[in-house]
């Protein structure tokens, strides 16, 4: 009973109803060893993502990353509901530890601690794809997020190697959902 209560409390505190939950700790993930922020910035489109409440029912989703003069990155995520209404949010990202430049703390104004990474770039070639993972633990429950991002809205990309990277780390890639990027009007 206490486990059920703790899990329910964690869901309420995290505010995430539609998400991927794990009982126990987040898996050990290794980000790529380097990151060239000047090459990473720009527009990325979601090809696949784990379900999450913040993006529920959104299609034509994208992220625009812009390098600020202070070294932080301005993050602007947007997507569209089926009625054509745009939903967007803006925040900042910063490297937490210079020795792990592909581990960033992204904050959209919800008070995420700036010294805790929550955006792990596991693999990118900068020009075609980026594999991103995030996992947060609270009260013995973990919430996972993952994205496969592409530079082209309707990229024809074989993602099996990217999915294998997650599988090797113990992440269930069956949770991926393909993002609808058809008939988008924001470009």
**Residues 75-101 pLDDT 10s:** 999 999 989 999 999 999 999 999 999
Question: Three-state SS for 134?
Answer: strand
- Dihedral of CA 186/86/72/136: which sign? negative
Q: Does residue 28 sit within a domain?
A: no
**Which residues, in sequence order, are bridge partners of residue 73?**
67, 93
pLDDT tens digits in sequence order for the chain, 187 residues long: 333 333 333 333 344 456 777 677 888 899 999 999 999 999 999 999 999 877 888 999 999 999 999 989 999 999 999 899 999 999 999 999 999 999 999 998 887 677 889 999 999 999 999 999 999 887 888 889 999 999 999 999 999 999 999 999 989 999 999 999 999 976 5
Q: Does residue 158 sit within a domain?
A: yes
Q: Does residue 151 sit within a domain?
A: yes
Q: Does residue 26 sit within a domain?
A: no
Q: Does residue 25 sit within a domain?
A: no
CB 166 within 8 A of CB 173: yes
Q: Does residue 58 sit within a domain?
A: yes
CB 151 within 8 A of CB 127: yes
Q: Model pTM?
A: 0.86
Q: Residue 49 is part of which domain span?
A: 2-19+33-178
CB 123 within 8 A of CB 131: yes
Which DSSP helix (H) or strand (E) runs through 91?
strand 86-95
Q: Does residue 53 sit within a domain?
A: yes
What is the CATH number for 95?
2.40.128.20
CA dist 63 and 96 (Å) reads: 20
Q: Does residue 185 sit within a domain?
A: no
| Total domain count, the chain | 1
């Amino acid at each position: 009973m206490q486990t059920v209560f703790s899990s329910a409390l964690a869901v309420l505190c995290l505010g995430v109803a539609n998400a991927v939950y794990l009982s126990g700790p987040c898996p050990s993930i290794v980000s790529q060893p380097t990151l060239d922020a000047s090459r990473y910035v720009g527009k990325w489109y979601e090809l696949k993502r784990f379900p999450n409440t913040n993006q529920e029912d959104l299609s034509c989703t994208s992220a625009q990353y812009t390098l600020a003069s202070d070294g932080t990155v301005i993050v602007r995520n947007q997507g569209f509901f089926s009625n054509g209404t745009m939903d967007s949010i803006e925040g900042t990202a910063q490297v937490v530890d210079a020795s792990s430049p592909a581990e960033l703390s992204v904050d959209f104004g919800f008070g995420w601690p700036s010294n805790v990474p929550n955006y792990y770039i596991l693999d990118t070639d900068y020009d075609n794809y980026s594999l991103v993972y995030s996992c947060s633990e609270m009260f013995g429950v973990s919430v996972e997020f993952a994205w496969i991002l592409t530079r082209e809205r309707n990229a024809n990309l074989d993602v099996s190697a990217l999915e294998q990277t997650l599988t090797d780390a113990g992440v269930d890639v069956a949770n991926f959902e393909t993002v609808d990027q058809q008939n988008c009007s924001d470009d």
